[in-house]
A and B are shown apart, each in its own frame.
Chain A
């Protein structure tokens, strides 16, 4: 319990630091929101009036307090380019991106775990080399390259999946998944490499442990020994790596969603950056950071559920 509380506290502390940093950075950049709205050629008096009405002349601490207060109460302000409330925009886009994140991680784990176990069981044999090469191929080429390959093979030549666009899952769930599949697959191939390496090395360590010999000496089948006794021990570190990769995934998502014209968080952030939509940048950076933090919290709690040794603290 202390462990869970500890983790929660550290999440809250980190989120606080993130608000400070995002707020500070957007305030250090040249040009302010009033200038963005009115344009650089605008009337100085009107500009000053807008500044006054937007509260941009208040001390920074007051502005920060207002921003955080708004975030807490659900008033996230309006996006300058989309002319819509940010909260509404984000809540749509985050669902779109969540589909991609979950799907790509599922694909990555579904490929990496069997591949890693296979490599570990046949350590230093051709299977091991084959598995490592496959994993390495996934990571050594950039994701957008895989994105292009996916579009060519599965959309252009085979025509199995759509090459671009986003469908709201509440309208048509199956179509939504079909649209998310190719970007997810491209991302999953990139994620797979580390997870395969991790599965392999953890499994090799575990398979050398005495309790594996004991399990065999009990007469348990090789399948039980590997997929239950060993994997139950190896899965923790793999999931931890997967959790850390969620952060990396949000970086790649910007490229991938833009490539597939898939209108999720990544696409939105890219638009905001391109158009210097400060309030939207602040909010999306904060949301992405919060999501990454929370996923890692969930992963850590999952680890507690898997490994009884951590429960004791």
Chain B
């Protein structure tokens, strides 16, 4: 056997106040030289613990390897048991024979050291290079990860680089000593989809060029399909299934793998379907068959946004005067019908969240009109605006942050009802119980606190709170982005059921094209504060006209190993700055109607 890494019956335990708990158990797999093994699983599956154990970094998080063997074949052919190696040997292997990259490029670099120092210290330590030699090597590394102006970058600090650039530096750092194994722990999860595509392509190229093996940890089945040679599926600290990528995607053996795959929306699978469709949740076939199709009813406009513009001041100078403006939302117009979903998609900073908040006047727009049900929201005084908010509610991304940790869930759901004086006493209690039923939470949860619930359950409470006042419009800002994929499918289904039953309209703000394709009737693509393309979902996804929409769609990983897209280096046009000097005259958004209702921004 010439495996580079052999993990055999690994067991890791964590010490807690209530005694040790097992993090992973009975985990066995191998990595051969030059192959990519993806470990995939939902949060808490033990995938990161497994990766950290290979580097013995798990010790720093309070974990101990309590069983099994971790064999690593060193360059001299000798096989080392990592679990038993002493810390001197481990320090010599870390960063030298095994490189590692992590999830958060924003925090993976030390903010007070220059890029040069962080790129060279490993080289000086492991390879005994002089400062000058290390610097030359660092420049080569920056070139190999395709960072423009490498000389200048060396002198810069991390905060001067964009997220994508930082992740390239982190990769360069991990590659510095030409490791035989690269461990990548969710390396693209925090990145925008175009940057993710670039980074995935970069890892593929480096792997090919250097014959390095990659252990790729991710929760994203679409990324697995794009990257893996072999796949290890984990669930609750154990391995569920192992196989080649085509075996796992095409003939999964275990129910859990099948359920996981079913919960992943695949870009393109809605082709030819007229209306949004619920996600298929395994073991829930009866409900799926009985589900009403989410069809559009007779179009009736609920929300009409006209030329909405929101700008944020940039303060500067000694007197902190406004010196420039961020054009967050720039001349945005659209309508949303009763009982339908309009998705606003785009990458971070495109203005989609600001747009949602401006509509609810959580931030005050600069100009433009927002009509809900024939009422001009922008013209309302404070008192009327408060009353109008009963019609328009919001669900945020992070349900842990948006729920008050000190209050019982019952009281948090009841609060908006009391605020608007809609019910009290027994009627209020009945109404809250009824809403808990609606979002499929057991009534026993009513007296609990947020920390006693899982992420998906918390998001159901957030939805319940929004539903409490019988709103007509719900602005869902990345409402399912923080959830595991199986939970995401359940929450999406819940939202679609509520829409069918209650005639709710959603403004669905998301960065996830595959999810949007599944749930939206209409889609607006945002870029630099403007909607660059808007129209019926099928028109935008099947016949994208604006270059940015095309770029975005081409960057989305597809959960199908036979449709791989990231072989060679990719380089997308970086997003330019939305900051303009004061008094800058922005041109109005003018659209060409390429098909009925399908509008494309003229440039």
Contacts and interface: CB of A to CB of B under 8 A. Distances in A.
By DSSP majority rule, is chain A's interface helix, strand, loop, or mixed?
A: helix
Given A211-B110, A213-B102, A219 B57 contact: no
Interface residues of B, number: 34
Given A233-B111, A306-B112, A217 B57 contact: yes
B102 A229 contact: no
B112 A307 contact: yes
Given A2-B318, A219-B126, A309-B159, A210 B57 contact: no
A232 interface: yes
A28 interface: no
A218 B109 contact: no
Contact of B159 (A2, A214, A308): A308
A312 B317 CA distance: 12
B55 to A, nearest CB: 6
B126 A214 contact: no
Interface of A: 2, 5-6, 9, 209-211, 213-221, 224, 229, 232-233, 306-309, 312-313
B103 A210 contact: yes
A216 B112 contact: no
A234 to B, nearest CB: 10
Interface string B231-254: 000000000000000000000000
B572 to A, nearest CB: 25
Interface string B175-212: 00000000000000000000000000000000000000
B112 A308 contact: yes
Nearest to A10: B318
B95 A218 contact: yes
A214 to B, nearest CB: 5
A214 B109 contact: yes
Contact of A229 (B110, B317, B318): B110
A214 B122 contact: no
B121 interface: yes
Interface string B141-185: 000000000000000010110000000001001100000000000
A216 B94 contact: yes
A20 B172 CA distance: 59
A233 B96 CA distance: 25
B318 A9 contact: yes
A217 B57 CA distance: 7
A92 B125 CA distance: 52
A219 B102 contact: no
Nearest to A233: B112
A218 B94 contact: yes
A210 B104 contact: yes
Contacts of A217: 55, 57, 94-95, 99-100, 102, 174
Contacts of A209: 107
A309 B110 contact: no
- For B102, B108, B316, which residue has the most chain A Cβ atoms within 10 angstroms? B108
Given A306-B112, A308-B112, A309-B157, A219 B92 contact: yes
10 contacts: A210-B103, A210-B104, A211-B109, A215-B110, A217-B102, A219-B94, A221-B91, A232-B113, A233-B111, A309-B157
A86 B342 CA distance: 76
B406 interface: no
Given A213-B102, A309-B159, A220 B110 contact: no
